[in-house]
Every structure is written in C-alpha cells, then in structure tokens.
C-alpha cells in the first residue's frame, strides 16, 4: 500500500468503533483509555527496537500493536504498524525509521480522535 493509499484509510472506522462500543457498553471507555495509555509505551518499544535494529522486537511489538489498533477501528494506524510488522518479519529494515516517524504522526492524530470520542 502506498503512502497516498494509507492516507485514504480512515483514522477511525466508525462502524467498527460503534459496534465495539455497543458490545462493551460500560467498559468501552476503560478499553479506549487503556489503549491510549498503552500506545505511547508500545511506540517507545518500537522506537528502541528500530534504533537498535532488532527485527524480532520490531515484529513482535508491531504485531501486538496492530491487533489492538484493528480491534478499535484505528485503521490507518493499524496499516502503518502492519508495515513495520512486515519489515521486522522479513528483517528488511531499510526505511523503517521513516516508517516509524509516519506511524508516530498517525498515532498522535488517532489518539486525539479517540480522546474526543470517549470524552
């Protein structure tokens, strides 16, 4: 997927988000807040793995984060993280620092939108 195509993905898929909200009911805000608390931690782990060029750590951290993003409907972030996961899996680390920077920017936009949804 090209960067232009990634930008076409919604930050939040409102259908997935609303469905999860219906299912989780009272626990929904806690789930989103846990994600918002954990996301910076996971991004920090990714940054360290990228700086140290440890492909397995990039893969494992991105894999975990991708699932969380997808479950909440954070589609654009999930796709950026999927690309990091793939790079780690294939030990193809050229361009990974740039991917991480884009991922960080999308994560910040996503967090703003999620906070607005639960407040």
Domain boundaries, the chain: 3-16+29-118
pLDDT at site 37: 96
| Orientation of helix 28-52 relative to helix 55-72, angle to 10° | 160
Question: What's the pLDDT tens digit per position in 83-104?
Answer: 999 999 999 999 999 999 999 9
> How many Cβ atoms from other residues are within 10 Å of residue 1's Cβ?
11
Q: Which CATH superfamily is domain 3-16+29-118 in?
A: HPT domain (1.20.120.160)
pLDDT at 65: 96
Confidence of residue 4 (pLDDT cuts 50, 70, 90): low
Judged against a pLDDT cut of 80, whether residue 7 lies above it is answered with no
Q: Express each pLDDT in 19-64 by its tens digit.
A: 999 999 899 999 999 999 999 999 999 999 999 999 999 999 999 9
């Amino acid at each position: 997927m090209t960067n232009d195509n990634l930008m076409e993905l919604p930050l939040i898929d409102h259908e997935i988000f609303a469905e999860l909200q219906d299912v989780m009911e009272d626990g929904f805000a806690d789930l989103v807040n846990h994600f918002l608390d954990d996301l910076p931690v996971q991004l920090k782990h990714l940054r360290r793995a990228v700086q140290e060029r440890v492909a397995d750590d990039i893969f494992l951290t991105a894999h975990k984060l991708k699932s969380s993003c997808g479950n909440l409907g954070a589609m654009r972030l999930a796709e950026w993280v999927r690309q990091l996961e793939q790079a780690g899996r294939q030990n193809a680390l050229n361009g990974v620092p740039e991917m991480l920077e884009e991922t960080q920017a999308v994560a910040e936009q996503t967090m703003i939108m999620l906070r607005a949804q639960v407040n």
